[in-house]
Amino acid sequence: MGAAAMAFALWTRHLKHSPSAPGWPDRDRFVLSAGHGSMLLYALLHLSGYGVTLDDLRAFRQIDSRTAGHPEYGLLPGVEITTGPLGQGLGAAVGMAIAEAHLAARYNSDDLTVVDHFTYVIAGDGDLMEGVSSEAASLAGHLGLGKLIVLYDDNRISIEGSTELTFTEDREARFAAYDWQVQHVADGNDVDAVDRALAAAKAETRRPSLICVRTHIGFGSPAKQDTAAAHGAPLGEEEVRAAKEALGWPVEPAFLVPDDVLSFFRQASAEGAAAELAWRSRMARWRRLRPDLAAEWDRVARRELPDGWDQAVPSYGQHDGGVATRVAAGAALNVLAAALPELVGGSADLGPSNNTGIAGGGDLSSDHPAGRVLHFGVREHAMAAACNGMALHGDLRPFCGTFLVFADYLRPALRLAALMRLPVIYIFTHDSIGLGEDGPTHQPVEHLAMLRATPDVTVIRPADANEAVVAWKMALRADGPVCLALSRQKLPVIDRAVYAAADGLERGAYVLADTSDGEAPSLILIASGSEVQLALSAHRRLCAEGQAVRVVNMGSWEIFERQEAAYRERVLPARTPLRLAVEAGSTFGWERWVGLDGAVIGLDRFGASAPAPQLFEKFGITAEAVYARARELLASFGEDRSI
């Protein structure tokens, strides 16, 4: 109610959109970062002609309704992003603005513009309180994202009461320090004042803009205006009636949209449709003049990979010695980036460690928006949120990198990427205690379990350099978020002349080494990542003793679960209940694969600061420990053939 006037000014006088073509590439993006005000967006979509009906509005927050409690991407046309967790919408909007700037630099020419649109946000006090907004706003100011415009709904009320309780800094000075243009509208119901501020923001091309609009939460409600009671809870029938009477609005019917109001909004939408048609005309001319770029545009829009895209990826052999999977993944990225111009991303100040650079790609900056390497700085929250926005914008395939332990910092955005099934690639290096001397603060223990527990997230932990290359190819074929867990330390290249091919990883888990005589195994060793080497070493000793042992490389639980039942049974046959898993992290979750009769060698405590070999020895994650535990299991179930 308090933000209605500013939304009216934006949607009827400035927002370039076409309800008949909600996915029109050059539309302005609108992000309701203050997602608890979702009914405002739903009402705007109804009035503008997006096919949102009065029945949809009546079903607000009900089971199977398209009008969920917070906006959900994919439920309704016109909802650009899932919001609700405060600050995430603003962070993603920064990514949308990055995408617009980059694509404009790539596809526009001096005489023909096909990418030219704004990203608008309505944000509230909660958005600005959350730390992600500080990171995102700092990054946006640094990058000079002049087409990002944020309307700040400054109603000065949060759930616990007045923002005087907790939020008293000078927000305008804060954003000015981020190098934003800052304006102030004293009366949020002054539509013309908001209109002028929006026009001034659009005219400022060097800096993003914050428009602080002083509003009144629950405007018109006699008992609840300017109170926390109007925040996140219904007014109630009596107060709704009183508010309508106070505003001079008919009390009945409950849902009333006068014909002249509807006609006015539809006329504003018609102007957007005309802009869309003009763009399509320019696009047709651009296609004739730049058929090469047009073909690329179409392919990327369809999320297709070009012919031969993976033909030049590196391969590794015994002569290469030890290769860290982070290094192999970085080499693969550089080869793939040459074939896929849509690959754009970077690291949270860890590029040399994460190997996220693109040779010749150039740094994406305010002076060079065509660059493909983003330096996010030490801003994991904003990095992941921005990647969501880049993916939602379309025509880019974003990736971002940090240490696996710092997945904690970006998990809110990763979770939203999973909710929206966004194809963001996360490069998580330093994936175990193998990072050594940095100690327990930097050694991930619970992080693989945390990522695997998140629905619709695919985690891939390759066992050697060749699997790291395969993992990148898998990530690019995926239609949702993918996490690559990569080693800091060098790992031996598995001899594929002796063991199964690396592309077995494409099925999530595969038989890497089997029994020496091809018979059914008595024991299955299961491992991922660097610990596959430990399983192979134990396997060689056990087979030399005549034991019937198999090694299963389980690089991705999620992909293995998606395989047909017959394949899963071939890899992990039910008739072999003796199983031993090994992974240098939390054992949580491994019981689903080893069963009641199996065991897990892992790490259910925090690490320590020491060289990696000493740590693996200290915590009993060694080939000797795998061998000894395997012998114990075989003996306890009468399967030890050496007895």
Per-residue pLDDT tens digits for 101-146: 999 999 999 999 999 999 999 999 999 999 999 999 999 999 999 9
Q: What is the pLDDT of residues 491-502, one digit of tens each?
A: 999 999 999 999
| CA distance linking residue 67 with residue 432, whole number of Å | 43
Q: What is the pLDDT of residues 559-578, one digit of tens each?
A: 999 999 999 999 999 999 99
Residue 356 · residue 427 · CB < 8 Å = yes
Residue 494 · residue 355 · CB < 8 Å = no
Residue 454 · residue 415 · CB < 8 Å = yes
Among 105, 29, 89, which Cα is nearest to 372's? 105
| 583 classed as catalytic | no
Among 83, 80, 95, which Cα is nearest to 137's? 95
Q: What share of the chain is helix, strand, coil (3-state, %, to 5)?
A: 45, 15, 40
pLDDT of residue 516: 86
pLDDT of residue 266: 92
Confidence at 517, pLDDT banded by 50, 70, 90? confident
The angle, 0 to 180 degrees and rounded to 10, between the axes of the packed helices 131-143 and 380-393 is 70
Q: What is the pLDDT of residues 445-491, one digit of tens each?
A: 999 999 999 999 999 999 999 999 999 999 999 999 999 999 999 99
Q: In one letter, which amino acid is 293?
A: L
Q: What is the pLDDT of residues 244-297, one digit of tens each?
A: 999 999 999 999 999 999 999 999 888 999 999 999 999 999 999 999 999 999
| CA distance linking residue 519 with residue 565, whole number of Å | 21
| CA distance linking residue 638 with residue 204, whole number of Å | 78
Q: What is the pLDDT of residues 16-30, one digit of tens each?
A: 999 999 999 999 999
pLDDT of residue 233: 83
| CA distance linking residue 566 with residue 509, whole number of Å | 13
As a whole number, mean pLDDT of residues 327-342 equals 98
| CA distance linking residue 257 with residue 223, whole number of Å | 25
Confidence at 640, pLDDT banded by 50, 70, 90? confident
Residue 208 · residue 140 · CB < 8 Å = yes
Q: Is 565 left (phi over 0), alpha (psi -120 to 50) or beta?
A: alpha
Among 140, 156, 158, which Cα is nearest to 148's? 140
pLDDT of residue 643: 62
Q: What is the pLDDT of residues 589-624, one digit of tens each?
A: 999 999 999 999 999 999 999 999 999 999 999 999
- Specify burial of residue 166 (Cβ count, 10 A radius: 0-12, 13-18, 19+): exposed
Which residue among the candidates 80, 239, 342, 380 is catalytic per the annotation?
A: 380
Q: Is the pLDDT of residue 7 over 90?
A: yes
> Alpha carbon of 326 to those of 107, 464, 484, 493: distances in Å?
32, 10, 9, 13
Extract the runs of DSSP E, i.e. beta strands, from 320-378.
322-323, 343-347, 373-375
What whole-number percentage of the chain has pLDDT above 70? 100
| CA distance linking residue 105 with residue 395, whole number of Å | 13
Q: How many CB atoms lie within 10 A of CB 608?
A: 15
Cα atoms in the Cβ-side hemisphere of radius 13 Å centred on 366: 14
